[in-house]
């Protein structure tokens, strides 16, 4: 059945110099802001300088919180939010990859509400947070256009999503991604690919998300198959990857993610594997499942993109810099309990169960 139901209220402004060209939009959000970022990418990408020029032009006061770590902690977001409240800022600007952008969303809640860290998961804060603007500097997360903030809980080191937090405006300028290293470009591209692939084959997909997903998948495979042998990407290729990351964000805004993400999280949490690589470890299994259970959609994907299942899997594997290892039985059992309790697999193709998840895990990670 055709379905075009969709909710993504963020104003998305796309293209080179979009921050500079739209500086006049900033004063509508207030006279004082907090910039949330990590230590390096906001500055190195050129995005911070563009934002500061816009703030200066419109006489907007600012403070910066640049302590967001990779896989941001809830306590970090709470600390930034408390500071924003104490400093009476009117709005937040997040600059960076997925970590600073997701952190910004959580900070926007803590800046308005003096709550305990984990209370952020207790209810929806939709339209009940400080306004925030986002500026992405990687081509992976798509967080610019999603309502999700994936934040690590300090108590147990597990990633958990806060939902319903949309930016007022996302400024999407691919040139901020051009200074990224090859490794980061590949890992983030695999994250974006995973968003598109998981969304395409999951049960929450619809007509519109399928269009976004096919477009993103096509762009990413085309770039990866044409990557230079010296391990570099052209700016034109990075432009395509950035567009694909936005398509990926638009997909999961509708569908959410599926088992590549939920199963991949432990590799990041416990083995420090980059998020996109962790998802890619499980992606060939997910694609096989999609092709097994959603044959019409599989045929369409192959027809539209001109990549077969085998070609897609071998491209992913050739860019996934990861050696599976023997998983201690105690660790396997702990994952079983974790995934069983969380019931993370409902939307994967073919009524995927916890038993199916363990079979996937065992095929990739032999029991040690």
Q: Which is nearer to Fe ion, 117 or 191 (CB)?
A: 191
Q: Which is nearer to Fe ion, 96 or 131 (CB)?
A: 96
Q: Is 191 in the site for Fe ion (CB under 5 A)?
A: yes
In whole angstroms, how close is the CB of 64 to Fe ion at the nearest point? 26
Q: Which is nearest to 104 in space by CA: 195, 191, 167?
A: 167
In whole angstroms, how close is the CB of 43 to Fe ion at the nearest point? 24
How many residues line the site for Fe ion (CB under 5 A)? 1
Q: Which is nearer to Fe ion, 144 or 191 (CB)?
A: 191
Q: Is 117 in the site for Fe ion (CB under 5 A)?
A: no
Minimal CB distance residue for Fe ion: 191
List residues bridging with 132 in a β-sheet. Answer: 92
- Near Fe ion by CB under 5 A, which window of 129-137, 184-192, 239-247, 321-329? 184-192
Q: Render the burial of 330-361: b for 16+ CB within 10 Å, e for the rest.
A: eeeeebeeebeeeebbebbbeebebebbbebb
- Near Fe ion by CB under 5 A, which window of 83-91, 186-194, 241-249, 337-345? 186-194
In whole angstroms, how close is the CB of 45 to Fe ion at the nearest point? 20
Q: Please give the C-alpha separations between residue 99 and each of 70, 147, 308, 337, in angstroms, as whole numbers.
A: 6, 14, 33, 27
Q: Which is nearer to Fe ion, 191 or 285 (CB)?
A: 191
Q: Which is nearest to 172 in space by CA: 50, 90, 312?
A: 50
Q: Which is nearer to Fe ion, 26 or 319 (CB)?
A: 319
**Phi and psi of 129, rounded to 5°?**
-150, 165
Cβ neighbours of residue 324 under 8 Å, at least 6 residues apart? 281, 364, 365, 366
Q: Which is nearer to Fe ion, 191 or 210 (CB)?
A: 191
In whole angstroms, how close is the CB of 245 to Fe ion at the nearest point? 10
In whole angstroms, how close is the CB of 102 to Fe ion at the nearest point? 10
Scanning residues 335 to 364, which ones bind Fe ion (CB under 5 A)?
A: none
d(CA 247, CA 216): 5
Q: Which is nearer to Fe ion, 50 or 257 (CB)?
A: 257
Q: Which is nearer to Fe ion, 51 or 267 (CB)?
A: 267
In whole angstroms, how close is the CB of 256 to Fe ion at the nearest point? 11
User: How many CB atoms are located within 10 Å of the residue 53 CB?
Assistant: 12
Residue pair 113/123 in contact (Cβ under 8 Å)? The answer is: no
- Near Fe ion by CB under 5 A, which window of 69-77, 104-112, 183-191, 203-211? 183-191
Please, what is the angle between helix 235-255 and helix 182-201, to 10°?
30
- Near Fe ion by CB under 5 A, which window of 86-94, 161-169, 191-199, 216-224? 191-199
Q: Please give the C-alpha separations between residue 104 and each of 80, 97, 235, 358, in angstroms, as whole numbers.
A: 9, 11, 27, 35
In whole angstroms, how close is the CB of 191 to Fe ion at the nearest point? 4
Structure tokens at 196: 């598109």
Q: Which is nearer to Fe ion, 279 or 335 (CB)?
A: 279
d(CA 267, CA 246): 25
Residue pair 268/309 in contact (Cβ under 8 Å)? The answer is: no
Q: Is 144 in the site for Fe ion (CB under 5 A)?
A: no
Q: Which is nearer to Fe ion, 168 or 191 (CB)?
A: 191
In whole angstroms, how close is the CB of 163 to Fe ion at the nearest point? 14
Scanning residues 244 to 283, which ones bind Fe ion (CB under 5 A)?
A: none
In whole angstroms, how close is the CB of 80 to Fe ion at the nearest point? 22
Structure tokens at 283: 């992606």
- Near Fe ion by CB under 5 A, which window of 129-137, 167-175, 187-195, 313-321? 187-195
Scanning residues 291 to 320, which ones bind Fe ion (CB under 5 A)?
A: none
Residues near Fe ion (CB under 5 A): 191
């Amino acid at each position: 059945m055709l379905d075009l139901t969709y909710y993504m209220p963020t104003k998305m402004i796309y293209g080179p110099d979009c921050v500079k060209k739209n500086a006049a939009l900033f004063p509508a959000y207030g006279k004082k802001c907090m910039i949330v970022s990590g230590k390096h990418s906001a500055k190195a990408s050129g995005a911070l300088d563009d934002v500061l020029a816009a703030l200066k032009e419109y006489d907007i006061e600012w403070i910066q919180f640049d302590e967001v770590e990779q896989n941001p902690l809830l306590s970090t977001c709470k600390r930034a939010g408390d500071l924003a409240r104490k400093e009476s800022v009117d709005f937040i600007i997040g600059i960076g990859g997925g970590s600073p952008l997701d952190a910004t969303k959580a900070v926007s809640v803590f800046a308005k509400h003096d709550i305990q860290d984990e209370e952020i998961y207790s209810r929806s804060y939709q339209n009940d947070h400080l306004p925030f603007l986002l500026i992405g500097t990687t081509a992976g997360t798509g967080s610019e256009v999603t309502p999700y903030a994936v934040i690590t809980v300090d108590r147990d080191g597990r990633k958990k999503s806060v939902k319903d937090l949309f930016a007022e405006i996302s400024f999407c300028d691919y040139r901020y991604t051009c200074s990224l290293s090859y490794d980061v470009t590949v890992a983030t591209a695999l994250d974006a690919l995973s968003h598109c692939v998981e969304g395409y084959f999951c049960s929450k997909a619809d007509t519109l998300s399928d269009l976004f997903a096919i477009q993103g998948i096509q762009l990413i495979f085309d770039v990866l198959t044409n990557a230079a042998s010296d391990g570099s990407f052209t700016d034109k290729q990075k432009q395509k990857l950035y567009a694909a990351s936005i398509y990926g964000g638009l997909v999961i805004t509708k569908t959410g993610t599926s088992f590549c993400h939920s199963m991949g999280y432990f590799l990041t949490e416990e083995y420090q594997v980059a998020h996109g690589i962790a998802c890619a470890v499980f992606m060939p299994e997910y694609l096989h499942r999609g092709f097994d259970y959603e044959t019409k959609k599989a045929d369409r994907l192959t027809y539209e993109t001109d990549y077969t299942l085998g070609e897609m899997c071998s491209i992913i594997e050739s860019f996934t810099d990861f050696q599976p290892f023997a998983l201690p039985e105690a660790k396997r059992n702990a994952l079983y309990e974790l995934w069983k309790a969380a019931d993370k697999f409902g939307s994967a193709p073919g009524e995927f169960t916890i038993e199916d998840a363990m079979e996937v895990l065992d095929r990739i990670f032999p029991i040690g």
